[in-house]
Structures are given as structure tokens and as C-alpha cells.
Amino acid sequence: MSAAEILRFALRGVAANKLRSSLTVLGVLIGVASVILLVGVGTASQQEVEESIEALGTNTLTVTASGSQGTQVRFTDLTAEIAEGLEASELTPDVASVSPVATTTATAVWDGAEYEVGSVVGSDEHYLEAANFEVAEGTGITESDVEAGARVAVVGSTVVDELFGGDDPVGEQISLAGAVYTVVGVLEEQSSSTGFGDNNDLVVAPLTAVQRTLTGYGALSQILLQSTGSDTVDAAEAEASAVLDGLMRVSSGETAPYSITNAAELLETQADTAETFTLLLGAVAGISLLVGGIGITNIMMVSVTERTREIGIRKALGAPRRAILTQFLIEATALSLLGGGLGVGLAYLASSVTIAGYETVIVPGTVLLALGVSVGIGLFFGGYPASRAAKLRPIDALRYE
Amino acid sequence: MSTVIALDRIAKVYGHGETAVHALRGVSLAVERGEYVAIMGTSGSGKSTLMHILGLLDQPSSGSYRLDGVDVAGLDEGAQSLVRSRRIGFVFQAFNLIPRTTAAANVELPLSYAKVSRTERRQRVAAALAQVGLSDRAGHKPNQLSGGQQQRVAVARALVTAPSLLLADEPTGNLDSRSTADILDLFDRLHGSGRTIILITHEDEVAERAGRVIRLRDGDVVSDTARTALEGKR
């Protein structure tokens, strides 16, 4: 008996009971579609986190003060002097740049419009690069601006929208808490999905100017370091830590009054969480696929019982075991493959809709996997009923009513 | 004449020990090519068991069975199914056509199990359907055919592989008298063209058509009479 004929018999078996077959197919369909979709949603969230990591820059380290520990009086504030000391140190070959950062909030006024800027950042010429900002229009802060304490500012896109209402801000003068700054540049809009608020609600100006007009010469809010490359981040962290210990007179064994964080590390943790989330979703969906598979076994058992007599006739007419086995296996596989194929189709349809705020990403791997698994399910879950059918003794099968 | 069937002390026991039922108690018989044999007996006489053993649907408990000179009782299942598809044609009381499948496809089934090529199959199916007078019903499904027509399709299916042996188990049991006559006439014609036919029946008028009548009782052959002898008795 040729393969085409066995296939024809099997498909006829599937078609013979359309409602029952379609319900079985539905089980696999839901399983396959949910595997593809849920893994897609998980992958989308994972990709978003990964994009955020890239946006943050992988070679940036942030030094923040963590307050004094113990009873000894120590220098616990980060100051511009510490930043200068760090920059001047010979012991930090892997640190490419050091940017002291003073942050405050201030009300910006332009042409009668007022806007409370989320953060006014005073820093040096390396800040924009270290914080991974791009200048979209105009220029950034230059070294001479910092040295001269020039009152120039680079504004984020939120500030442009809120204060200038879409007008070109470059060259305009704004007042920040009474001090007049000239806008020299606009920052490229950044993705705000890092979970740290609106990244575009900021004004960047030279540290010297900001300290003079807004924050005073006290503590810095942080020092931003850039390592020479993404592979030297750890070395840079260790070197900076050693130098800072010296500058801040931390003896060994004491808890340092500062902490160095690597934003990328933080997000990597998030990425791991997202991956776990994807796995979990995939597992839940996998269970529904398993249930669909059990549905196939069930329906094939019914089908074999129902057609016991037919099996007997076929055997009496000389059908070898293999032909019966293949017939029922193909029938089961046809059911599961049909369900798998439709499930992939449904997943593609559903992926055009955003789920839980994520654009579903259909991973080609999961499509192949889901189809492969559905064939496997047909063979595995159809295997038992099929072998039962094949092993029936013709005389028993013929007597069966 | 060559011997198609040679049974030597075939016994069949169901169950064990005290509850054992002896369906056949050592039946020995030989059937020559071209014979038309009717096996008769009341229910419980073992005639169905004998039929199943002859058709390789069941295994004897002991004894030897040679079909066309080959000992078939000891063959494995795969080999037995090959023998069934090539040497034996079955006609059942309940027709046993595959439902939702056309007459032609039903007739073709044993050929496809016997691995006959597609073009040859088509010719042989057409010839077999013509032989039973149902060429115009090839595309009909079993539920579109009358009982007599279904049984004729079943006969065509039994014939299509040109088997050594045609086994019919109460072929007219479910048919009205006209269809019964049709089927029996068909068997007569097949017998006339040299086919070996064994049929099981409990109806005398069916057995009358056969050239030889074997009666079973309680698993033993009680009489084995050729037709000439039967006619002589009358």
C-alpha cells in the first residue's frame, strides 16, 4: 500500500467526523498559538529591556554618595574636588572620562511661559556622551564653556515641547530660577522605558554655571565615569574605587561612603527577569499544548474503538500491522499538524495586536518548534491508540459490535 | 486436481482446565481445487471457528493446516496477512464493506494491501465489479446500495485478488430471497469458472447448491457427502 493511499485513508478518517476532528484540532491550535504568542510577548519585553541597556551605554559607571557609616568623622560628600582628584589620578588608566554632576530642579521661563524642569544638570563636556545623549540640533557643552562658566544650556525634548511649544529653541534665552541661560542645543529624544522617569525632561548646563547660579558649591549628586570600553568597565570600577578610597580616606575594612553602580548591570538583572518571565509564559503555554495532545490521544482512542470492526475487515483483507499503525498515526499527526498550522496562523494574526503594551515578536524558532512539537504530539499521543489498533487480532476486531 | 486445503487433526480449545471449551476436536479434511463445499451445523457446532481458522483469522490450538501446500498455521502475523491478501477472499454475513468508501475503493482495498500496481488494480477492480454485475455502481458508497448489491460488492472484493480460496460465512444470512438467489447464482457461476468456494450456512437450500456438504456437530465432522451421493439419497 503506497504512502499516498495510507495518507488518503487517514485524511478520510479525519474528515469523517468533522466536528470531533475540529474540536481536537482546536485544542492543539490553542496550545500552539499560545506558545508562539506568549513567548513572543516575553521576547518583546526582553528586547525592550535590552534596548534600554544599549540606550544607557554599557561603559558608564555612576558614583553616588551613600552617606557616612560608623562613628568616625569623614569626608562623606562627593565634591568637585574629588571628581578632579579622580580625573587627575594616574592610577585610573581604564577610566576615559570623569564628569562631576550636580542636579537640581528649577523653573524655566521663556517668553512668559513657565515650566518646572525635572532635572537641571550641571556637568562637564563629557556628560552628554557618558549619559548617552546625542545632540539633535545646535551644539553640546564645550570644555571652554565649562572653564568659563558660560551660561549656556542644552535642553531635552520634553522641555522643548513644554516650554517652547515646538518653536526652535536654539539661540533663545531662558531663565532658570532667575539666571539667564542661552540655549545652544537640543537633545535627541531618548526612550523613557528604563523605569527612571522621563529621560527627556532635563536641561544640561556647565557645572560651573549651575553651581554659581543654582546649587552652590556643595556636594555633587553624582560623578559619572566612562570606561575606555565596554570590556574595561569592571577594571575601571576597581581603579576608581581604589582612588576614591584614598581621596575619601577610607581605610580597608570600612564601608565606603559612596557606591559605584553600573546601570547596565541593573538592567541585566531586569533582562534576566524578563527571560524568566518568557520561560514561565512558555511553560504555561506548553501545558496547554500538552492538554491539546491528550485531547488527540482521547479522540484517537475513541476513533480506534469506533472503527474496531473496520480494522478487523482491513486485517481480514490482508492489511499488515504496519498499514493500520501508519493509518492511525497519520490520522493523529494530521489532526495535530492541522492544529499546529492554524495555531501559527492565529498567532501571526494576533501578533499584529499589542498585548500588554508589547508588540509581540514572533520568533521564527518558536514557529518551527511549535510545528515540530505538534507533529511530535501527533506521533506520541497518537502512538498508543494506533498501536492498540494495529495489535488487534482480526478475529476479535471482526466480532466487535 | 490439486489440494487447496489440507487440515490434519485441527483442534481449537477456548479457556483452560475444567472450563475449557473444545470448539474443534481434531478435524481433518481436504478440499481440492474447484470444489464447492458447504459447511453446515447448528450454532456451537464449531463451523465458525473452522471458518476463522481456514481464513487465518484465528489460530488452531493444535493440528496442521496446509494451504496450497504451505503450512500456514505456524506463520507469523505479517506472513499471515500476506497470505490473507493474496490467497483468501472473504465474504461475510454482515457484508463488512468499509463505510463512506465507494464500491470501487472497497474492491480495490485487498489489491492495495497485496501491493498490486495502480493501473493493474484499476483493470482488476473494473473486471471484478463487472463479474458481479455492478459496473454501474462503482462510485456508490455502501449506504447507497441495497443489501444484495453490498454483498455483491463484497464478493467482488473477495474475488479481485484471484484467491485460491473463497470463504463465505453465511453470505445470504442477511439477504431477502431474491438477493439470496442472486448471490447463489453468482457463486454457481464462480464455481463453474473453476473457483474453490467454501461457504458456511445453516440453510439447506443454500447448501444444496454446493457440490459437497460437510456437517459438524460439537466440534467433530459427522458427515461429509459429495453431491452425487446427496442426489442419490433422494
CB contact under 8 A, A398 and B57: yes
Q: How confident is the model over B205-218, as a mean pLDDT?
A: 90
pLDDT at B234: 43
**Nearest of A107, A71, A63 to residue A87 by alpha carbon:** A63
DSSP-H helix ranges across A307-363: 308-316, 321-351
C-alpha cell at A299: 479522540
CB contact under 8 A, B109 and A317: yes
User: What is the count of residue pairs from A and B with beta carbons less than 8 Å apart?
Assistant: 66
**Chain A residues in contact with B101 (beta carbon < 8 A):** 12
> What interface predicted TM-score (ipTM) does this complex get?
0.86
Q: Pick from B112, B141, B169 the residue to mutate for testing the A interface (most A CBs within 10 Å).
A: B112
From CA B60, how far away is CA B118, in angstroms rounded? 36
Tell me the pairing of strands B212-217 and B36-40: parallel
pLDDT at A55: 66
**Nearest of A330, A79, A393, A45 to residue A211 by alpha carbon:** A79
Asked if A138 and A186 touch (Cβ cutoff 8 Å), the reply is yes
Q: Pick from A303, A309, A317, A392 the residue to mutate for testing the B interface (most B CBs within 10 Å).
A: A317
C-alpha cell at B155: 464478493
Asked if B85 and A292 touch (Cβ cutoff 8 Å), the reply is no
CB contact under 8 A, A12 and B100: yes
Q: Is A120 left (phi over 0), alpha (psi -120 to 50) or beta?
A: beta
C-alpha cell at B68: 496450497
pLDDT at A149: 86
CB contact under 8 A, A319 and B81: yes
H helix or E strand, kind and range, residue A8? helix A3-16
Residue A45 identity: S
Tell me the pairing of strands A258-262 and A179-187: unpaired
How close, in Å, is residue A318 to chain B by CA atoms?
4
**Chain A residues in contact with B98 (beta carbon < 8 A):** 310, 313-314
In the CATH scheme, what is the code of domain B3-233? 3.40.50.300
- φ, ψ of residue B203 in degrees (nearest 5): -100, 130
Is the model's pLDDT at B26 over the cut of 70?
yes
C-alpha cell at B33: 481445487
**Chain B residues in contact with A398 (beta carbon < 8 A):** 57, 92, 96
For A111-166, list the strands marked E by DSSP.
Answer: 113-123, 135-138, 152-155
How close, in Å, is residue A23 to chain B by CA atoms?
21
Alpha carbon distances (Å) from A298 to A18, A317, A332, A401, B221:
16, 28, 10, 20, 47
**Chain B residues in contact with A314 (beta carbon < 8 A):** 98, 109, 113
CB contact under 8 A, B113 and A318: yes
Q: Locate the chain B residue with the closest alpha carbon to A17.
A: B100
**What pairs with residue B29 in β-bridges?**
B7
pLDDT at A73: 47
Those residues with Cβ within 8 angstroms of residue A284's Cβ, 6 or more apart along the chain or in another chain: A34, A38
Number of CB atoms found within 10 A of residue A207's CB: 26
DSSP conformation class of B45: S
Greatest alpha-carbon pair distance for chain A in Å reads: 104
What Rg value do the Cα atoms of chain B yield, rounded?
Answer: 18
Asked if A318 and B85 touch (Cβ cutoff 8 Å), the reply is yes
Is the model's pLDDT at B233 over the cut of 50?
no
Summary mean pLDDT of chain B? 88
Tell me the pairing of strands A179-187 and A152-155: parallel
**Chain B residues in contact with A396 (beta carbon < 8 A):** none
CB contact under 8 A, B115 and A314: no
From CA B224, how far away is CA B35, in angstroms rounded? 13
In chain A, what are the domain boundaries?
Answer: 3-52+269-399, 67-256
Asked if B57 and A398 touch (Cβ cutoff 8 Å), the reply is yes
Residue A342 identity: L
Those residues with Cβ within 8 angstroms of residue B54's Cβ, 6 or more apart along the chain or in another chain: B5, B7, B65, B88, B165, B167, B198
One-letter-per-residue 3-state SS of B65-93: EEECCEECCCCCHHHHHHHHHHHEEEECC
C-alpha cell at A54: 544599549
**Nearest of A324, A329, A336, A328 to residue A294 by alpha carbon:** A336
Q: Locate the chain A residue with the closest alpha carbon to B87.
A: A318
CB contact under 8 A, A321 and B90: no
DSSP-H helix ranges across B160-208: 177-192, 204-207
Those residues with Cβ within 8 angstroms of residue A299's Cβ, 6 or more apart along the chain or in another chain: A20, A21, A23, A24, A335
CB contact under 8 A, B82 and A320: yes
pLDDT by residue for chain A (401 residues), tens only, comes to: 567 777 777 787 788 788 888 988 998 898 888 888 888 888 888 887 777 766 666 678 888 887 655 545 455 678 888 888 888 887 888 888 888 988 888 888 888 888 888 888 999 888 888 887 888 888 888 888 888 888 999 998 888 888 888 788 888 889 888 889 999 999 888 765 555 567 788 899 998 888 888 888 878 888 888 888 777 888 888 888 888 888 887 777 777 788 888 866 777 777 788 888 888 888 888 888 888 888 888 888 888 888 888 888 888 888 888 888 988 888 888 888 889 899 888 888 888 776 666 677 788 887 888 788 888 888 888 888 889 888 888 888 888 76
Q: Locate the chain B residue with the closest alpha carbon to A3.
A: B112
Q: Pick from B12, B49, B57, B97 the residue to mutate for testing the A interface (most A CBs within 10 Å).
A: B57
Residue found by looking up cell 514561565 in the block: A280
In terms of C-beta density within 10 A (0-12 exposed, 13-18 middle, 19 or more buried), how is residue A328 classed?
A: buried
Q: Locate the chain A residue with the closest alpha carbon to B159.
A: A317
C-alpha cell at B192: 463453474
Is the model's pLDDT at B52 over the cut of 50?
yes
CA A341 to chain centre: 28
- Go through B156-175 and write b for each residue having 16 or more CB atoms within 10 A of its CB, e for each that does not: bbbbbbebbbbbbbbbbbbb
